[in-house]
Amino acid sequence: MSDLHWNDISPYAVPLGISALLGVLAWALFAWLAHRSRGKDYRRARITSMLSPPLALLLPLLFLRVGLDSTPLKDAQLALVKLSLYVGVVGCVTWLAVRVVNGIVASILREHPIEVADNLAARQIHTQTRVLGRVATGLVIVLGASMVLLQFDGVRQLGRTLLASAGILGLVAGIAAKPVFGNLIAGLQIALSQPIRIDDVVIVEGEWGRVEEITSAFVVVHIWDQRRMVVPLNWFIENPFQNWTRREADMLGTVFLWLDYRTPMAQVRAETERVCRSDPRWDGRVCIAQVTETSETAMQVRLLVSARNSGDAFDLRCVVRERVLDFLAREHPYALPRQRNELTREHTPPDTPQIVPSVHQTVSPSPEDGPPSVASPDLPAG
């Protein structure tokens, strides 16, 4: 085998080498400009750093594609090399488009933080941006893969064959892809109509939690005890659920107490207001005490308080319940529910020597339960 001479390889090496060098120089110029702007414009520096990795491959490939026309490659060899470069260019463009979409999503999320007290508008934007961004990323990848696959005759023929026999195969494929397309359509519906948003407080399947993540296929709900519930997207379209922060984040919290009829309601209202004013979780809107129900043995008192969000409302309810009960036990112990026994003596004829007393028992309900039924049979004398 004879050695290769420069005269043999120069027709290929010179144009391809110059093209590759020009591509590298173009990327180096871009990187230099990005480095210079890093300290002047933070946003411009972020954009250039996002575009730099794909361009490092894309620019040399584009210049190589131009330089191929100056080489003496034969038609079959030239077509193979051009196809390889085409696949590389499409891959780099797809990579670049995905990074652009992710960069736009990240920029929108940074400009609308949800770590604020009134984050309703920010949560709406986060939900729409995340869902639409994932859909756009998926479409870009599918489009790039399609452009590559259509360049191969075998794949095109396979596509024609599947299209020609789209009877049973199409039905099977449609049934198999139903969950995928169902979740895709559900994701678009959630992004547009927004029945749920990022950081919404929801009750799903009896579980209280916050919407932590919305993907293109499922929703992750962060349960209050650190568990994660993964729910398909179309479940939120087809099933009812509770959304506590659909319109606004502030909420009302309710505390029910069963108390004795002798309870001084004026003091209970004053103590409830004092507890609310001393707690930073109270938002200053609602703090009332009302008698909402009565039974044969006790009355139901509702303490209604307000807070900025559901988490504060839950904690404030617990504090109000504990301190009001402590106040009643300390200052007005007769106001707490208690058990009462009534001892009666049955009247018997004078000629009957046996006297049978009977005990009627009434039980006041507990603070959290409704009034129990009063039932106790007469007991014979021991």
Per-residue pLDDT of the chain (382 residues; tens, 9 = 90+): 445 565 556 666 666 677 677 777 777 777 776 666 655 556 666 777 777 778 777 777 777 777 766 666 666 766 777 777 788 888 888 888 888 888 888 888 888 887 766 666 777 788 778 878 877 888 888 888 877 777 776 655 554 444 444 444 444 444 444 555 566 677 777 777 778 888 888 889 888 888 888 887 788 999 988 899 999 888 888 888 888 777 766 778 889 999 999 999 999 999 999 999 999 999 888 999 999 999 888 999 999 999 888 788 889 999 999 999 999 999 999 998 877 666 776 665 555 555 444 444 444 444 444 433 333 333 333 3
The Cα 242–Cα 245 span in angstroms is 9
Two tokens, residue 71: 């080489």
Q: Contact at 8 Å (CB) between 288 and 304?
A: yes
- Where exactly are the structural domains of the chain? 8-161, 162-247, 251-332
Q: Contact at 8 Å (CB) between 134 and 216?
A: yes
Q: Which residues pair with 340 in a beta bridge?
A: 362
Instruction: List the one residue out of 252, 264, 263, 318 whose CA is nearest residue 288.
Output: 252
Q: How far apart are the first and last CA of the chain?
A: 122
CATH classification of 162-247, choosing from 2.30.30.60, 3.40.640.10, 3.30.70.1450, 3.40.50.300? Answer: 2.30.30.60
CATH topology of domain 251-332: Alpha-Beta Plaits (3.30.70)
Q: How many other C-beta atoms are found inside a 10 Å radius of the C-beta of residue 268?
A: 21
The Cα 202–Cα 210 span in angstroms is 6
The Cα 272–Cα 275 span in angstroms is 5
- Share in percent of the chain as helix, strand, coil (round to 5): 55, 20, 25
Q: Which amino acid, 67?
A: G
Burial class (CB in 10 A: 0-12, 13-18, 19+), 271: buried
**Helix and strand element counts for the chain (H, E):** 9, 10
Two tokens, residue 202: 């929801």
Q: Contact at 8 Å (CB) between 140 and 101?
A: yes
